[in-house]
Amino acid sequence: MAATGLLLGLILVLGCFSEIGVALISFSSLQATLVVTASHPQRLLRAGEDKITVRWGLNQSLPAGTDSAYKTIKVQLCYAPISQVDRAWRKTEDHLSKDKTCQFKIVKRPYTTGNQTLEWTIERDVPTATYFVRAYALDANDHEVAYGQNTDAKKTTNLFEIQAISGRHVSLDIASVCFSVFSIVSLMGFFFVEKRKGRKAQQ
């Protein structure tokens, strides 16, 4: 009994420590050393169909060795401020463990010097919103140490809009319901006219 209590206490304490460890990384402490670009068709993009070509690499004007601690690159799709308004579940927090800006993984792969390119098909579960792309450089402990994004610090440039699949289905459903109602109504109208014609013919 006492042993179980002790074990539970230990787990709790460890849990708290790891929580603190994670919470310590703040976005504002990261250096913007990566140059990230995203190219795509210049129109409303469709989830599940359209592709975004993401390019990332170390800013070449930085001193050599800037990236010596970089082990992994994590590229994510992130909500632009306009799509975060009144949505606590997409809120930006400086503590990265609580930050909900970037919820969609594009890729995670080992860091290599030089530019990297990836063609990514927008996943089918991406909701309708305005987005940008951000890349994080992670160290050997999988902790964020630097970042780069395809937009400016205020997140106002190079944003793009994605339309969700469900949104398209909803409008399709509405269209098909309208069509069904329309065809039933016209069928009824047709019958009515035919009946009247028939009655008139009998008279």
Ligand X SMILES: *[C@@H]1O[C@H](CO)[C@@H](O)[C@H](O)[C@H]1NC(C)=O
Q: Where does this chain bind ligand X (CB under 6 A)?
A: 35, 57, 59-62, 114-115
Residue 62 Cβ vs ligand X, minimum distance, rounded to whole Å? 6
Closest CA to 145 of 7, 16, 25: 25
Burial per residue of 172-195, b for 16 or more beta-carbon CB atoms within 10 angstroms, e otherwise: eeeeeeeeeeeeeeeeeeeeeeee
Q: Which residue is nearest to ligand X (CB)?
A: 59
Nearer to ligand X, 29 or 171 (CB): 29
Closest CA to 57 of 107, 114, 111, 119: 114
Q: What is the CA radius of gyration of the chain?
A: 27
Residue 150 Cβ vs ligand X, minimum distance, rounded to whole Å? 10
Tokens 């690159």 locate to 73
Residue 107 Cβ vs ligand X, minimum distance, rounded to whole Å? 17
Nearer to ligand X, 62 or 107 (CB): 62
Amino acid occupying residue 91: K
Residue 57 Cβ vs ligand X, minimum distance, rounded to whole Å? 5
Residue 175 Cβ vs ligand X, minimum distance, rounded to whole Å? 43
Residue 24 Cβ vs ligand X, minimum distance, rounded to whole Å? 25
Closest CA to 78 of 165, 142, 148: 148
Would you list the DSSP string of 71-108?
-EEEEEEEE-GGGTTT-GGG---SBTTT--SEEEEEEE
In the numeric block, which tokens belong to residue 176? 């098909």
Tokens 């579940």 locate to 89
Nearer to ligand X, 59 or 72 (CB): 59
Nearer to ligand X, 40 or 46 (CB): 40
Q: CA-CA distance, 38 to 49, in Å (whole number)?
A: 16
Nearer to ligand X, 88 or 153 (CB): 153
Nearer to ligand X, 106 or 162 (CB): 106
